[in-house]
Amino acid sequence: MANHKSALKRDRQSKVRRLRNRTNKSKMKTVVGRVEEAVMAGSEVQAREALQKAASVIQKTASKGSIHKKTASRKVSRLAKRVNRMQAEA
């Protein structure tokens, strides 16, 4: 355990940040899962709506620093690619 006052504060701060990051990432994973479910079900309209919501949540997660900006872009790109591929097959 930390002994110095500053180290104790850093420990408190990192616990709060860890919980905040975990919450943000959890929300992001939930919306990504909804897009994937819609794609698997073959529902194009639901997949488009879910993708729009997911892209917003993913970018917000990146803006809060829970994930890197390029990771967010990559996730959105891959989801869009799956939804577009579904539309092309139809």
Domain-wise residue ranges, the chain: 5-89
- Contacts for 65-68: CB closer than 8 Å, 24+ residues apart: 65/21, 66/20, 66/21, 66/24, 66/25, 66/28, 67/24, 67/25, 67/28
User: For position 77, what pLDDT does the model report?
Assistant: 98
User: For position 89, what pLDDT does the model report?
Assistant: 82
User: For position 90, what pLDDT does the model report?
Assistant: 73
pTM of the model: 0.88
Q: Does domain 5-89 have CATH number 3.50.50.60?
A: no
In this predicted model, what pLDDT tens digit does every residue of 27-82 receive, in sequence order?
Answer: 999 999 999 999 999 999 999 999 999 999 999 999 999 999 999 999 999 999 99
